[in-house]
Amino acid sequence: MLLSLLLACTAPSVPVVPGGGDDTGEPALLPTDTFPSFYGEVPKNLLVVSVDTFRRDLMSRFGGEGLAPLLDRLAEEGVSLDAHRSCSNWTFPSVLCANYGASNIDVGYAPDLRDPDNAWAPEDVPTLASRLSGAGWRTMLVTSNGWFSADRNSDIGFDSSERPDDRRTESVFGTGLERLHEAEELGVDRWYLHLHIKEAHPAYNPPDSYLAGLKGLPPVDYDLTISDEQYAAGDAWPEMTEEEREVLLLHLLVRYHGEVRWMDDQLTAALAALEADGFLDDTLVLFWTDHGEQFWEHDEQTHAYGLNTEENDAVAFFWAKNIVPAAWAGDTSLIDIAPTILSLLDVPTDPTITGFPVGEAPEERVLDFLSVARLGPVQSVVDDGWKLIYRWNTGERWLYDLANDPTEATSLYDPAHPRAIALEAALGPHVEGLRPLTQRYTPL
Supply the DSSP symbol for 136: T
Which pLDDT belongs to residue 11?
A: 35
Domains and CATH numbers, the chain: 2-10+38-364 (3.40.720.10), 375-438 (3.30.1120)
Local confidence band at 6 (pLDDT 50, 70, 90 cut-offs): very low
Cβ neighbours, 10 Å, residue 401: 15
List the beta bridge partners of residue 414: none
Distance of CA 410 to the CA centre of its chain: 26
Q: What is the mean pLDDT of residues 143-162?
A: 96
Q: Give the residue-averaged pLDDT of 393-403.
A: 97
Banded pLDDT at 443 (limits 50, 70, 90): confident
User: Shortest CA distance to 387 belongs to which of 308, 287, 294?
Assistant: 308
pLDDT at 155 over 90: yes
pLDDT at 437: 93
What confidence category does residue 128 fall into, taking pLDDT thresholds of 50, 70 and 90?
very high
Strand locations in 236-347, DSSP E?
283-289, 294-295, 301-302, 316-319, 326-333
Q: Which residues pair with 187 in a beta bridge?
A: none
pLDDT band at 260 (very low <50, low <70, confident <90, very high): very high
Confidence at residue 25, expressed as pLDDT on a 0 to 100 scale: 60
Rounded mean pLDDT, 382-396: 97
> 79: which residues sit within 8 A by CB, 6+ positions away?
35, 36, 317, 318, 319, 323, 324, 325, 326, 327, 328
pTM of the predicted model, to two decimals? 0.93
Average pLDDT of the segment spanning 436-442? 83
Q: What is the pLDDT of residue 23?
A: 55
Q: What is the pLDDT of residue 442?
A: 77
Dist. CA 55–CA 62, nearest whole Å: 10
The one-letter amino acid at 129: A
Per-residue pLDDT reduced to its tens digit, 184-232 = 999 999 999 999 999 999 999 999 999 999 999 999 999 999 999 999 9
**pLDDT of 441:** 77
Give residue-wise pLDDT tens across range 303-326: 999 999 999 999 999 999 999 999
Beta strands in 198-350 (DSSP E): 283-289, 294-295, 301-302, 316-319, 326-333
Rounded to the nearest integer, the mean pLDDT of the chain is 93
Q: 45 with 191: CB under 8 angstroms?
A: yes
pLDDT score recorded for residue 20: 37
The dihedral region occupied by 40, where left means phi > 0, alpha psi between -120 and 50, and beta the remainder, is left
- pLDDT average, residue stretch 391-420: 97
Q: What is the pLDDT of residues 40-70, one digit of tens each?
A: 999 999 999 999 999 999 999 999 999 999 9
pLDDT at 118: 86
| Residue count of the chain | 444
**Is-contact 97 87, C-beta < 8 A?**
yes
Predicted confidence (pLDDT) at residue 430 exceeds the cutoff of 60:
yes
Residue 73: pLDDT above 90? yes
